[in-house]
Structure 1
Amino acid sequence: MELTEASARLEIQQQLANYANGVDSGDWELYKSVFTADADIDYTASLPLRGTPAEIVATFEPVFRDISWTQHYITNTSFRFEGDECQVRAFFHNPCVLPGVEGTAHHYGYYDHRFVQTEHGWKSAHMVETMLHREITGNTQPAVTATSSGAA
């Protein structure tokens, strides 16, 4: 692997982390920064939703306010470079607590991205979510609640 490809992989991996962190924290500017402004984002495998980053955020922002917590795990990332583009598949597990649902919802699947090299770095120009499995499990109470003690 050449240094430029290694560097691109790291940048794209960071973009996948930005995607997860943006959604999970409700930082919609961070979420949008993963994509080109005109990216085609397709969630139709799980939701009747497809659009540009701005259109997706307009739908997600009010919906995610009512989700008490969500945490994306993005793993098993594969890369296929073709010039200034990279096809990426990244698997996900997304446990969350949805409004009106008893228990924790678990979503499993993968994201297929077409990343392109832009003047602002690697950005996703196209993303398709494929849902492989969903289930609701047990109690939503955490075993341990994180607190900030101020200790280092």
Structure 2
Amino acid sequence: MLPETEPMTQRVELATVMDRLAIDAVITGYAVAVDDADWTAYQALFTPDGRADYRSAGGIEGPAVEVAGWLAEMLRLFPVRQHLIVNRLLRLEDLNGYTGDRADLQADYLNPMRLEQSGLLDGTSAPNFVTGGRYSFELLRSEEGSWRVRRVTVHEKWRRTGPHAI
């Protein structure tokens, strides 16, 4: 016979797995929204007071709605782009064995892009601008139970430009 605590432990473990999957969907949604220039979807990923910090990559820091506007303008220079977010290290808040409503995630990124170059037709859409670094995400569970980004900080570590950027 199983101990009486076994069903509770299984529910907690299932809730933890579900939280991990939901957070993974938020982070993947972040990359897709930026790559597809879907700024409505980008903003929907954040809490009402959510902020983004792109200063280490030459950008701005501020409310998600303001940063979305800046990204929309800046990324017009890069009609071809793809975010790859990998090596995700997630730390869920632990409330005495139960998952809390707060999480931190660090993830490395590789971001190949193609800089718009008017007048230059080289017959390729290969990337000529590539950056890499690490994201730091702070996430909160909303009152509705969904996970949202409260803060994201970009820590750009390197960038390469030119015809052979990759």
Question: Which TM-score band applies after superposition, normalised by the shorter structure?
Answer: 0.7 to 0.9
Give the aligned residue type for 2:105. Answer: V
- Structure 2 residue 63 is matched with structure 1 residue 52: yes
RMSD: 2.1
* Mapping 1:60-139, distance limit 5 Å: 60-82=71-93, 83-100=100-117, 104-120=128-144, 121-138=146-163
Work out the CA distance in 1 between the residues paired with 2:59 and 2:34: 18
Residue identity (%)? 26
Work out the CA distance in 2 between the residues paired with 1:12 and 1:98: 31
* Structure with greater helix share of residues: 2
Aligned length: 140
Work out the CA distance in 1 between the residues paired with 2:134 and 2:164: 26
Work out the CA distance in 2 between the residues paired with 1:80 and 1:135: 31
Work out the CA distance in 1 between the residues paired with 2:108 and 2:130: 13
- String of CA shifts for 1:38-78, please: whole Å, max 9, x gaps: 11211111124001111011211122233221000011111
Work out the CA distance in 2 between the residues paired with 1:46 and 1:66: 15
TM-score for the superposition, normalised by structure 1 = 0.84
Give the aligned residue type for 1:95. Answer: P
- String of CA shifts for 1:128-148, please: whole Å, max 9, x gaps: 1101111124359xxxxxxxx
Residue 28 of structure 1: CA displacement?
Answer: 0.6
- Give 1:17's aligned residue: 28
Where do 5+ consecutive residues of structure 1 fail to align? 141-152
Give the aligned residue type for 1:125. Answer: R
TM-score for the superposition, normalised by structure 2 = 0.77
- Give 1:150's aligned residue: none
Work out the CA distance in 2 between the residues paired with 1:99 and 1:71: 15
Work out the CA distance in 2 between the residues paired with 1:48 and 1:22: 18
Instruction: Please identify the structure whose Cα radius of gyration is greater.
Output: 2
Work out the CA distance in 1 between the residues paired with 2:104 and 2:164: 38
- String of CA shifts for 1:85-129, please: whole Å, max 9, x gaps: 001011100000123599611111111011001024000101111
